[in-house]
Structure 1
Amino acid sequence: MHPISRRRLLQGSAAAGALALLGAGGATAAPPPPHRWIGAGPFTHVYDPSTPGGPRYLNDHTLIKAADRWHLFGITGPAAPPGQAPDSAAEISFAHASAPDPYGPWTTHADALTRDPAYFGEEHLWAPHVVEAGGTYWMFYAAGGRDGAAINLATSTDLFTWTRLPTGPLFRGRAARDPMVVRIDGQWVMYYTELSGQDGRHVVAFRRSDDLVHWSEPGTVFTDATTTTTVSVTESPFVVERDGWYHLFIGPREGYDGTDVFASRNPFSFGLDGYAGHVPGHAVEVVTDGEQWHVSAAGWFQQGLYMAPLRWLDAPPPWQSAENPVAGLGADGRLNVFALDASDHALLRCVQLDPQSGTWSSWQPFGGPAGAVPTLGRDTDGRLEVFSLAPGGAGLDHRAQRPDGSWYDWEEFGGAAGAAPAVARGADGALEVFALGPAGSAVARRRQASPGSLTWQAWDGGFGGPAGAPPVVAANADGRLEVFALSPGGSGIYHRWQETPDGPWAQWSRFGTAAGGAPRVARDGSGRLIVVATAPSGQATFCRRQSVPSGGWDDWRPLFGWTAAAPALAPDADGRLEAFALSPGGALLGHRRQLATGGGWDPGDDFGEPGVRLAATPTAAVDATGRTHVFAVTADGRVRTRVRDRPGGGWRPWAAFGDRVVETQT
């Protein structure tokens, strides 16, 4: 067994077998992008704003250093029950804390500012941002009122006592909120989220000022087709300059706890074509001490402030696998579970020793390091095939199981990629994989030479794309494969299908409206496909299923409320699908099951453990006895499992699964 190679295949004679995602011909690879790419290290919980009166959350916030201490100001309010959003209209004060370092220890102070209805009709206090100029601290914040949305200003000389501007709001807008102020080319520039005047979509607007009090008429720096008047994915704008490039952080994108980054030479014009990375946090702010860069995050479903190192990268960061860990039934009829070791990102494998008794092996090394949790395919003879992403997305690697349950060595499978690929089995039994290019540049397809073969055909690099998330694939009842992908920015879901089993492919067509991340697809026991997807910001999850097997589609229907990502789908022993949906923040794991094969859904229940937060949507698999196993990773990297006591029966309590700490950053 040798570790996964990091060598690329986009060179020389190997190019024919490589992932042709960069549009390069022969040995010439595309030049690297001129801007730096952005990612983030693991987030650390550093501050809880709760008081003796009860738990409180922290949302949009600001950090500023004064002398030898950092000060934190942010939206706060009473925490809601797990999985439920609090009432944003009740956000009427700004929390205040200070610390010698952004990572703490933090000292709580009295709230810095409280709503004053007598001050031009303030109704709430949202999204403070503080800058220092001329020995004065200037706090810009959003405040609704009887006359509409407003950006207000309060000043202080000590960061403890704040005085509102006597003349009232700086300006009003249609939905003006989330101000951020920065100095650019000798002027102050304010970025904020707003509704456009033309079509009422949420955009990032800007204004200029020389004195922080008088502001220009607005302009627009960013918009896309995803947003509507009711759902915004252009919130919490934050702009950072580095080496002549400006980087715009906005969200919630790819779920409530997600922020996308866009780069531009022009600080007043950003677009989807400038995509520069993703940070898995809500209301992200960027701070630096001159040497190290860090990002902070907070949100309704969290327990306060989180900090992580900001990473400036030479290549686009890959998407992480949707499930963590991942599980599949092997050639010998035993379940295999795969995860990444938290310490070195080595691949780990745990094997079911006896399906009847439920005993398992310990975690064993399986290769690596890897850049994401792998994906699995299963040959017609039951052999598993593992597809892994090399660190940094440098390439794809592949390892196949032997008929006796042992494993062949790792082999390089393709060039630079943006995620571990989607895998499905075609009508003739041959596996097909669909891989995302770096930064979502394209979708490529590759097929086994024959069912169960160890050789593969060349990559088709022009299958689709660009895409806003890794594609997903499933087989129709008649064997025709169908692929679903999110458009860049999440403005819609598209699909493409084989016109005949193992035959040619139809063109891409629109399948759904704006979505908050990659969809998922599965086939139930009636032979019908079901697709699930989250709304922008993760406010709800919807499902759409085929009217008849291999046929047309019904309308979208609601399935869950707030959801961190598209729910995991798994067929039970009798073909009924089960869905598992994780709330933002991981405090609630929802569960629903089809009432009958191909039928509607039961009312659902809370499937998680009280007081246990999960780091990612779990995975589910059925073993050789017909019992469903659910595997989940907690926020501290421990794997937990829950198993049915018999096929279709009740569930046993949650239990520990192994003693290794696995990667949680998904």
Structure 2
Amino acid sequence: MPAQDESTLEGVTLRPGTKRRLLDASPSAAEPWYINDHTLIQDQGGRWHVFGIWHPEPADPLGEDRFLHASADALTGAPWTIHDPVLPARPEIGETHVWAPHVIRHDGLYRMFYAGGTADHTAYRMTLATSEDLFAWTVQEPVLFEDGFDARDPMVIRDGTRWLLYYTRTSTPAGGFHQVAVRTSEDLLTWSPPQVAYESAVAGTYGGPTESPFVVRVGEGWLLFVCESGEYDRTFAYFSTDPLCFVDAGRIDVDLDEHCAEIVQDGPRTWITGGGWGRGGVTIRPLEILEGDPA
């Protein structure tokens, strides 16, 4: 694809830049490991941390039982240190795999939201763990809620006094139209029943075009990024003035060839990252998100 593409809708312009490798956490070239759904956060001291699904190649989604933890002094241009993995699956409670961490910091605590998978795909567990230092984590009980099919990929953002938690699921726990659901909370612990933030015309169970939802605020509007797993390296972006409702008419025609994309703010710069099976770790590139007519 071209090094730079551009698309505008409703006065919002997306300009992705040139992609490069951010992190390969494989033990060696002869022993490749992939990093799938991931999250990046800067700690209070300015150091960057990455957490993500981490597993030896080839792909084994139901065997993904730990999260990578790596850190660096700067988001780009600094070496990454690989730390001990965190939050392994807990088979003693029926948890067979863990997916898609998302970390925020609030009230002096780091909070990781992630999906705990079990043999029952209709009732995956949305789980919260907390930490003071990003190294030692405590899983909070009970789980936040259960949903299906394979409800997963949580992402949390603040909207005024409320918190919004987006995740992917299907229209019924046993399968159906692929959706991005959203729940609201005042305290990050008690969450409302789900609302449908976006529904695809595609139905099924595994995969689907609503994976890895990520929402950012743009002026008075909102952008929803979702991964189209059918094409794997493809992320769509939708614009809306309502963070609880995105529709196909708001889709921005821009070529984002990332899987499990995350939008990362580092000072004045915005980045988009990607990963996935067989992708050699995490990639990164600039992403300009502009309001109004582009210069």
Rounded Cα–Cα distance in structure 1 between residues aligned with 2:229 and 2:73: 32
Aligned equivalent of 1:89: 62
Aligned equivalent of 2:104: 131
Does 2:273 align with 1:302?
A: no
Aligned equivalent of 1:222: 198
The alpha carbon displacement at 1:314 in A equals 7.0
Q: Deviations over 1:267-320 (max 9, x none)?
A: 000011001234111101011123111111111120111110002357999xxx
Q: Among residues 219, 222, 231, which one is paired with 1:246 in the alignment?
A: 222
Q: Among residues 247, 251, 271, which one is paired with 1:275 in the alignment?
A: 251
Check the 8 A contact 2:24/2:282 in 1, yes or no: yes
Aligned equivalent of 1:140: 113
Aligned equivalent of 1:105: 79
DSSP-derived class of the 2:163 partner: strand
Check the 8 A contact 2:55/2:64 in 1, yes or no: yes
Aligned equivalent of 2:169: 194
Check 1:238–1:116 CA distance in 2 against 1; reply closer, same or farther (3 A cut).
Answer: same
Q: Which amino acid aligns with 1:289?
A: D
Check the 8 A contact 2:208/2:230 in 1, yes or no: no
The alpha carbon displacement at 1:131 in A equals 0.6
DSSP-derived class of the 1:49 partner: coil
Does 2:42 align with 1:77?
A: no
Q: Which amino acid aligns with 2:181?
A: A
Rounded Cα–Cα distance in structure 1 between residues aligned with 2:104 and 2:19: 25
Rounded Cα–Cα distance in structure 2 between residues aligned with 1:73 and 1:126: 11
Rounded Cα–Cα distance in structure 2 between residues aligned with 1:182 and 1:105: 29
Tell me the TM-score normalised to structure 1 length.
Answer: 0.40
Check the 8 A contact 1:287/1:295 in 2, yes or no: yes
Check 1:223–1:45 CA distance in 2 against 1; reply closer, same or farther (3 A cut).
Answer: same
Check the 8 A contact 1:93/1:113 in 2, yes or no: yes
DSSP-derived class of the 1:281 partner: coil
Rounded Cα–Cα distance in structure 2 between residues aligned with 1:235 and 1:70: 25
Rounded Cα–Cα distance in structure 2 between residues aligned with 1:126 and 1:245: 29
Q: Among residues 4, 24, 27, which one is paired with 1:48 in the alignment?
A: 24
Check 1:186–1:311 CA distance in 2 against 1; reply closer, same or farther (3 A cut).
Answer: same
Tell me the TM-score normalised to structure 2 length.
Answer: 0.89
Q: Among residues 137, 147, 169, which one is paired with 2:143 in the alignment?
A: 169
Check 1:91–1:138 CA distance in 2 against 1; reply closer, same or farther (3 A cut).
Answer: same
DSSP-derived class of the 2:249 partner: helix
Q: Which amino acid aligns with 1:261?
A: A
Rounded Cα–Cα distance in structure 2 between residues aligned with 1:284 and 1:235: 10
Q: Which amino acid aligns with 1:76?
A: W
Q: Deviations over 1:485-541 (max 9, x none)?
A: xxxxxxxxxxxxxxxxxxxxxxxxxxxxxxxxxxxxxxxxxxxxxxxxxxxxxxxxx
Aligned positions of 1:530-545 closer than 5 A: none
Q: Which amino acid aligns with 2:130?
A: T
Q: Deviations over 1:433-490 (max 9, x none)?
A: xxxxxxxxxxxxxxxxxxxxxxxxxxxxxxxxxxxxxxxxxxxxxxxxxxxxxxxxxx
DSSP-derived class of the 2:87 partner: strand
DSSP-derived class of the 1:197 partner: coil
Aligned positions of 1:447-466 closer than 5 A: none
Check 1:253–1:245 CA distance in 2 against 1; reply closer, same or farther (3 A cut).
Answer: farther
Aligned positions of 1:459-474 closer than 5 A: none
Q: Which amino acid aligns with 1:178?
A: D
Q: Among residues 255, 261, 269, which one is paired with 1:292 in the alignment?
A: 269
The alpha carbon displacement at 1:169 in A equals 1.5
User: How many residue pairs end up in the alignment?
Assistant: 280
Rounded Cα–Cα distance in structure 2 between residues aligned with 1:47 and 1:142: 23
Check the 8 A contact 2:200/2:210 in 1, yes or no: no
What RMSD, in angstroms, separates the aligned Cα atoms of the two structures? Answer: 2.2
Q: Among residues 121, 143, 153, which one is paired with 1:178 in the alignment?
A: 153
Aligned equivalent of 2:3: none
Check the 8 A contact 2:208/2:229 in 1, yes or no: no
DSSP-derived class of the 1:214 partner: coil
Check the 8 A contact 1:74/1:128 in 2, yes or no: yes
Check 1:254–1:91 CA distance in 2 against 1; reply closer, same or farther (3 A cut).
Answer: closer
The alpha carbon displacement at 1:177 in A equals 0.3
Rounded Cα–Cα distance in structure 1 between residues aligned with 2:191 and 2:39: 21
DSSP-derived class of the 2:278 partner: coil
**Please, which runs of 5 or more residues in structure 1 have no aligned partner?**
1-31, 81-85, 318-391, 393-666
Q: Which amino acid aligns with 1:152?
A: T
Structure with the greater relative contact order (CA < 8 A, sep ≥ 6): 1 or 2?
A: 2
Rounded Cα–Cα distance in structure 1 between residues aligned with 2:245 and 2:117: 28
Rounded Cα–Cα distance in structure 2 between residues aligned with 1:39 and 1:315: 13
Q: Larger radius of gyration, structure 1 or 2?
A: 1
**Please, which runs of 5 or more residues in structure 2 have no aligned partner?**
1-7
Rounded Cα–Cα distance in structure 2 between residues aligned with 1:168 and 1:58: 28
Rounded Cα–Cα distance in structure 2 between residues aligned with 1:229 and 1:222: 16
DSSP-derived class of the 1:192 partner: strand
Rounded Cα–Cα distance in structure 2 between residues aligned with 1:227 and 1:146: 21
Check the 8 A contact 1:140/1:179 in 2, yes or no: yes
Rounded Cα–Cα distance in structure 1 between residues aligned with 2:85 and 2:257: 28
Does 2:14 align with 1:38?
A: yes
Q: Which amino acid aligns with 1:126?
A: W
Q: Deviations over 1:157-186 (max 9, x none)?
A: 000011111x23111001210000110121
Q: Which amino acid aligns with 1:286?
A: I
Rounded Cα–Cα distance in structure 1 between residues aligned with 2:188 and 2:248: 30
Check the 8 A contact 1:35/1:245 in 2, yes or no: no
Check the 8 A contact 2:212/2:261 in 1, yes or no: yes
| Larger strand proportion of the pair | 2
Aligned positions of 1:180-579 closer than 5 A: 180-197=155-172, 200-252=176-228, 255-276=231-252, 277-312=254-289
Q: Deviations over 1:41-83 (max 9, x none)?
A: 1111021111258211000000001021010000010012xxx
